[in-house]
Amino acid sequence: MIVNNYGGRLGRIIKKYPKVACEKCGKYQVQIVSYLEGDPQYRCRKCKHNFSLPFEDLPVEDFVMKSIEERLELIKEHTLSPKAKEELWKELDEYLLESDDKDN
């Protein structure tokens, strides 16, 4: 069983692709050499082949258009960027403060 102890975008990439084999030689000795933007780039440690795998992160704009329930579900699935998580928590805090003011 593979355990993913990484958060953020790297964690989401590893969750989607837990075991990556080289496209050229088939060995599993690959490393992620670029993952901050776009598709993650891999490099085989055996044959030195460079390749990428398709990966789409959820844009912040798409996240903002969803309901609070849908946003919480996305957080549970760990499919959000750190910026989107921060925006959600700010909005939830404001929502809870407004609810408290209405109750009092």
pLDDT single digits (tens) 47-57:
999 999 998 77
The domain spans of the chain are: 8-52, 60-103
Nearest one of 6, 19, 18 to 78, comparing CA atoms = 6
Name the pTM for this structure: 0.54
* Coil vs helix vs strand at 9: helix
pLDDT at 70: 75
pLDDT at 14: 87
Tokens (6 digits) for 46 = 């055996």
Sheet hosting strand 41-44, strand order edge to edge: 30-34, 41-44, 50-52
Summarize the confidence of residues 34-39 as an average pLDDT.
88
pLDDT at 30: 96
Model confidence at 83: pLDDT above 70: yes
pLDDT per residue as tens digits for the range 58-74: 665 555 666 777 777 76
Question: What average pLDDT does the structure give for the chain?
Answer: 79
- Percent of the chain exceeding pLDDT 70 equals 68
